[in-house]
Amino acid sequence: MRGTQVAALRDGVPAGLPDILDVVAGFDEALVRGFARVGEQDAAALAALAGALAGTPLGDPVAEAAGKVTAGSVTADHLAVLAGARSALLGAAHDALLGQLDAALGRDRSPWPVTDPAATPAGPEPAGGPAAGARAWLHEVAVSGWRGVDHELLTAAGTPIETALAVPGLRRLAVLLDGLTAELRASVPVGTMPQVPARRWADLWARGMLLTQAAPPAAPGTGTVSGRLLPLGVDLHEHDTAVQAQVHAILEPADGGPPRLVRTTVGAAKVDTIVGPAVWGLLRACPVLLAALAQRRAVTVTDVALHGGDLRWDDGRARLGEPADPFATARVLLGPATAAPTAPLDRHPVAIAEPVLLEGRVVRDDDGTLTVDLDGHPVAVDTDRLPAGGPLTPDLVAAATALLGLLRWDDGWSVQPLAVLATVKKQPVEAHNGDWADGVTDARVAKAEARAGDAVAVLRERAGRLLRR
């Protein structure tokens, strides 16, 4: 990234974005108070939401739902329409921001294929299906509002989550609800919280509501691909009961096509006491991918499925290749690579995660915040996104001379570090998020891990004795 590109990101705020975000914020504040009794302020927020969608295919249903909810008729169907309206606005925000990013970076992105409307998703899930319990729970939450969430309401989420976990097509819903309820459980009584994360919880509520409607449509244009995969870095996601490693990489197709920017993702279910570097142990079914990350090597893939930019990992179709320096990959191939579009349901600013290489000085403010200086243009560094399972620390990032990261937007642009080249005590140091994928290489951390013992082994032993088979 160059300074002029940073300036283009900072100065080119998409037209209408602040207005969209204000409408969303109004809805989110209403959800904090709940829809049991809609006051004047929240009625205005619902009317603004309907107004923002006026003239679109969602316009009439949203106006009707907003009117009914304001009048006290809060049905799950009305709430689903409101969730859809909020998601549509943030989807538009996503598209505008990604467009701005592509323009600033000169990044080429393939369009989402036009599909036959008759072929897209089956109708909504019939009432009484496996997602009905989750929908009813989200309905109850919206009525009580975040401030009204109590132990009883949280206990009531148990059965819907268990049901959703048992249905493979509802895993996304189950994982979302597990993450949301864990936060609520830790925050109860929410009424006494000094501050409610209004946007965040409304995001999760709205996405959950959409996921209870129907299974998301499969990405069109699905095919298989062969070629050389050059990892740029890995982004780790986790909450109490799920972990996911998302590898950003350049795919050089074997048929000689242009390089493509892809993501490949592997994950596992887990429990809250498996944290830090131990999460890699849950991904051992993918030894080739873990070795490629830990040893910084290329991978040759043969006939693997590619859905848009999502390369479905299949360890059996992957072979470890030659050493491949992610910084060199970024320098040479990030420019010419073609990026992929985001699936419609996933379009939300949180989905923006675009690999970038920043070669500049890192500056630490008095309050500890880090920024990269590119020809006098600062980029904020999101040190909250340094994973517990990797070697990157705020101190190491502060010493960086080059940083490979993901450009993200969360009420402003920032970069999430994936790897750094740094100078520590006059010595060059290189560290990547995936360095510990095959085992911790830092003696001090490895010792602490050994002291805590093997959580997975202890729990598997207990499960073997106690779970009815």
Partner 1 sequence: MADADRAAWRRRSVLRVVAPARARKLAKVPFVELADGRLQGVVSSGTDIERVYVSSVTATTHAYHCSTNNNRPCGGLRGAPCKHLHALADEAVVQYGVDRVARYLRVEVDDTVATGRQVLSRMDTRHEPTPAAVVFSRFLRHLAYLELPASPAPLPELQWFPSTVAGR
Segment contacting partner 1 by CB under 8 A, of 61-69, 139-147, 196-204, 418-426: 196-204
Please report whether residue 84 would count as binding partner 1 according to CB under 8 A.
Answer: no
Fill in the amino acid letter for 410: D
Q: Looking at 78, 248, 260, 348, which residue binds partner 1 (CB under 8 A)?
A: 348
Nearer to partner 1, 424 or 458 (CB): 458
The alpha helices in 241-370, defined as continuous H runs, are: 287-295, 326-333
> How far apart are the C-alpha atoms of 134 and 212, rounded to whole Å?
7
Smallest separation (angstroms) from partner 1 to the CB of 144: 16
Of 50, 82, 83, 175, the one binding partner 1 (CB under 8 A) is 175
Q: How far is the CB of 236 from partner 1 (least distance, A)?
A: 4
Comparing CA positions, the residue from 436, 418, 440 lying closest to residue 246 is: 418
Tell me whether residue 5 or residue 416 sits nearer to partner 1 (CB atom).
416
For the chain, helix, strand, coil in percent to 5 are 45, 25, 30
The footprint of partner 1 on residues 13-52 (CB under 8 A) is 21, 25, 28-29
463: contact with partner 1 by CB under 8 A: yes
- Total residue count of the chain as it appears in this document: 469
Exposure pattern of 242-266 as b/e (b: 16+ CB <10 Å)?
bbbbbbbbbbbeeeeeebbbbbbeb
Minimum Å gap between C-beta 402 and partner 1 is: 20
Contact 144, 36 (CB under 8 A): yes
Q: 3-state class of 31 per DSSP?
A: helix
Phi, psi angles (nearest 5°) of residue 57: -60, -25
Q: Counting contacts by CB under 8 A, is residue 223 touching partner 1?
A: no
In the complex, least distance from residue 393 CB atom to partner 1, rounded to whole angstroms = 7
Report the run of H or E that residue 165 belongs to, with start and end: helix 158-165
Identify which of residues 238 and 252 has a Cβ nearer to partner 1 in the complex.
238
Residues 385-414 interacting with partner 1 (rule: CB under 8 A):
385-389, 392-394, 410-411
For partner 1, the closer CB: 73 or 155: 155
Distance of alpha carbon 272 from alpha carbon 204, whole angstroms: 20
- The verdict on 456 binding partner 1 (CB under 8 A) reads yes
* DSSP element (H, E) containing 246: strand 242-253
DSSP character at residue 195? -
Q: Please list, in sequence order, all residues whose beta carbon lies within 8 angstroms of the beta carbon of residue 437, skipping any fewer than 6 positions away.
A: 234, 245, 280, 283, 289, 290, 291, 293, 294
Least distance CB 47 / partner 1 (angstroms): 21
Q: Does 460 bind partner 1 (CB under 8 A)?
A: yes
Nearer to partner 1, 85 or 206 (CB): 206
> Shortest distance, CB of residue 127 to partner 1, whole angstroms?
24
C-alpha to C-alpha distance for 161 and 184, rounded to whole angstroms: 15
Q: Residue 294 CB, nearest distance to partner 1 (Å)? A: 17
Footprint on residues 227-286 left by partner 1 (CB under 8 A):
235-244, 246, 263, 265-273, 275-276, 278-279, 285
**Segment near partner 1 (CB under 8 A); pick from 115-123, 128-136, 199-207, 287-295:** 199-207
Q: Pattern 105-144, binding to partner 1, x per CB under 8 A?
A: ----------------------------------------
Query: Using the rule CB under 8 A, is 459 a contact of partner 1?
Result: yes
Q: How far apart are CA 267 and CA 280, in angstroms?
A: 9
Q: Pick the stretch among 128-136, 222-230, 253-261, 453-461 that binds partner 1 (CB under 8 A).
A: 453-461
Q: Does 443 bind partner 1 (CB under 8 A)?
A: no
Q: Which of residues 291-330 bind partner 1 (CB under 8 A)?
A: 310, 312
Pick from 154, 289, 379, 437 the residue near partner 1 by CB under 8 A. 154
360: exposed, middle or buried (C-beta count within 10 Å: 0-12, 13-18, 19+)?
Answer: buried
**CA dist., res. 264 & res. 353, Å (int):** 13
Binder among 2, 68, 185, 297 for partner 1 (CB under 8 A): 185
Give the separation between CA 45 and CA 327, rounded to whole angstroms.
Answer: 47
Q: Residues 222, 159: contact at Cβ < 8 Å? A: no
Helix (H), strand (E) counts: the chain: 15, 15
- C-beta closer to partner 1: residue 237 or 331: 237
Positive or negative CA dihedral for 278, 284, 285, 288? Answer: positive
Binding footprint of partner 1, residue count (CB under 8 A): 95
Q: Which is nearer to partner 1, 424 or 463 (CB)?
A: 463
Nearer CB in complex with partner 1: 103/450: 450
* Residue placing its CB nearer to partner 1 in the complex, 205 or 327: 205
Using the rule CB under 8 A, is 151 a contact of partner 1?
Answer: yes
The continuous run of DSSP H or E covering 371 comes out as strand 370-374
Taking CB under 8 A as the rule, does residue 439 contact partner 1? no
